[in-house]
Structure 1
Amino acid sequence: MTGNVAAPSAQDVEQLHTEGIAGRQGAFSAEWADRLGEDIMTIFRESLELPGAAVGRGPNRYYVEIHPERLRGFVDLVTHPWVTGMCAAVLGPDYQIVEVGFDVPLPGAVNQPWHRDFPSPPETTRDRRLTSLAFNLTTVDVTPEMGPFEIAPGTQWDDSPEFEHGMFPPESHWPRYEALGRRRLTRRGDVSARSALTIHRGTANRSGTPRPTLVLGVDAPGAGNAERHDLMVTRACHARLPEWLHRHLPCRVVDELEPIEQQHTIEGLVMGTP
């Protein structure tokens, strides 16, 4: 996984708390990211043939949850010093990996409405404490035409009774997010950590190229997001994992992998916006 394997700096952790997102360029090699992309697209093609495996997140945009062992680079990712360091610094030493999946905006994907991925918990709105992180890794070098991920820094602390389902700010709030918004032109090998509560959206993919992005979800103990997912690994895979990783990977250990029935659907994203 040759790349920048340095641990996070204090500035990285401060940036995450201040802006709701921080990144490490070149954490992995481009070749490593290419292998990740091959695995993702293989699983994506399979998922389109299985009922409920690929969940729509807007026109021509899909989200797929996957079994960790189907990614050749899974152990590289979850043992990378920047990833483990950010998890421990923000979520505490007993952080838990609860989700592995990927988002694929295909050509023709439209702008999503501004949103967060789930309602803000009391620990965040009341105590300003983050209880979950989402790590993102692109498998392509993103251009402005590909529908970059766009995020409004600092909005992880936003709280309003006007948010529909606690996740979707009304359109009257959108001009503020558009003024704050930063489009992420990430490259193969880059990794970012963000609060899923930071207001964000996928933008329109006007290119002829899909933009697959891996998502790794990590919780502080008791955050509860594991209830939306069903991580499982085979006994053979579990035995090969580093022993210390077992306590960070609460999952079902099975003889044979079972199809994943996705439980984290986001109805408000199905239609998208112009």
Structure 2
Amino acid sequence: MSAQPQANSSQFDDADILGGLYGAGIIACKGGFERAWVQRLREDVDALFAEALQRPGGALNRGPNRYYVEVHPERLRGFVDIATHPWIVAVSQAVLGPDYRIVEIGFDVPGPGAANQPWHRDFPTPEATARGRRLNSLAFNMTLVDVTEEMGPLEIAPGTQWDDINGCSDASGMFPDQALYPRYEARMQRKMPAMGDISARSALTIHRGTANRSNASRPILVLGVDAPDAGNAARHDLQVTHAYWEALPQQVQQHLTCRVVETLEPIVQLHTIEGLKMGV
């Protein structure tokens, strides 16, 4: 399965990458993958989602008819293409340094009837950001459909990765008080990516999924990448078999934080977000 990426790493400038992620908190690579490649990835995701729904704890509830599923890299035919994509590599190196770590691979599936989520960030602000003013993790997203208004696109409030919400949020440090909602709504950008597009964002930038009023799901692949000090691998459990590990390119091996096992084990998902389960 070849991605045939349309981008070349020589196109990417660190100043543009850092300016976007330290400024708005989100950047994008349009047409980073061929549509045929995305369609094959969608086949894998659909099969894995059906499996996860049949397994206790296989699909995390992220709101009404909205799920998140972590997967084993080797169950996705396109994992190596993703991990070695020149734009993803360039962004990871620019923001997180040459020793960046891939710590998560999974997918979100907002189905028909998914409700608006509350404004949130994906985990509490770490000290590296709160005190050091440094981003030490990124979330890369790849849509598996052409997103329409009816599908419930992502809304994001640019620049809010730096907001201090600890004094007015719930105990998790992830959900701002509703008194701040006008700030996010005034800054809000609605993202409408097409198949093949890739985005990179700080998971601290305040965002929400919106109501899916269509008859179709809106699956999106998620790749989590850390700086060496971030520690988000503790929220996940990447595993690969010995045979798969030995076949991986060295470029992927040196950046992948995972367990190497004889037989893949069911993933016990640890990144639950209680505040998203009910929607708004």
Same fold by TM (over 0.5)? yes
Alignment of 1:21-40 (within 5 A): 21-40=26-45
Residue in structure 2 matched with residue 217 of structure 1 by the alignment: 224
Q: Which ranges of structure 2 fall in alignment gaps of 5 or more residues?
A: none
C-alpha separation in 2, matches of 1:222 and 1:127: 13
C-alpha separation in 1, matches of 2:24 and 2:187: 11
Where 2:142 maps in the other structure, the secondary structure is strand
Residue in structure 2 matched with residue 159 of structure 1 by the alignment: 164
Give the CA RMSD over aligned residues.
Answer: 0.8
Residue in structure 2 matched with residue 100 of structure 1 by the alignment: 105
1:176 equivalent in alignment to 2:180: no
Deviation at 1:32, TM superposition (A): 0.8
The 8 Å contact of residues 12 and 23 in structure 1, kept in 2 or not, is answered as no
Residue in structure 2 matched with residue 264 of structure 1 by the alignment: 271
Deviation at 1:4, TM superposition (A): 2.0
Partner residue of 1:247 out of 246, 249, 254:
254
What is the CA deviation profile of residues 77-96 of structure 1, one whole-angstrom value per residue up to 9, with x for unaligned ones? 11011001100000000000
Among the aligned pairs, what percent are the same residue?
A: 61
C-alpha separation in 2, matches of 1:4 and 1:194: 21
Residue in structure 2 matched with residue 48 of structure 1 by the alignment: 53
What is the CA deviation profile of residues 16-68 of structure 1, one whole-angstrom value per residue up to 9, with x for unaligned ones? 11010000000000111111111111000010000001000000000000001
Segments ≥4 residues shifted beyond 3 Å: none
What is the CA deviation profile of residues 145-182 of structure 1, one whole-angstrom value per residue up to 9, with x for unaligned ones? 00001111100000131122210001111111011111
Where 2:218 maps in the other structure, the secondary structure is coil
Partner residue of 1:148 out of 134, 147, 153:
153
The 8 Å contact of residues 28 and 198 in structure 2, kept in 1 or not, is answered as yes
C-alpha separation in 2, matches of 1:13 and 1:245: 23
1:5 equivalent in alignment to 2:12: no
The 8 Å contact of residues 17 and 94 in structure 2, kept in 1 or not, is answered as no
For residue 5 of structure 2, what is the amino acid of its counterpart?
G
1:185 equivalent in alignment to 2:192: yes
Residue in structure 1 matched with residue 137 of structure 2 by the alignment: 132
Number of residue-to-residue matches in the alignment: 273
Deviation at 1:12, TM superposition (A): 2.9
The 8 Å contact of residues 80 and 252 in structure 2, kept in 1 or not, is answered as no
C-alpha separation in 1, matches of 2:48 and 2:75: 8
Deviation at 1:222, TM superposition (A): 1.7
C-alpha separation in 2, matches of 1:256 and 1:183: 41
C-alpha separation in 2, matches of 1:226 and 1:207: 35
For residue 181 of structure 2, what is the amino acid of its counterpart?
W
Q: Which ranges of structure 1 fall in alignment gaps of 5 or more residues?
A: none
For residue 5 of structure 1, what is the amino acid of its counterpart?
A
TM-score when normalising by structure 2: 0.96
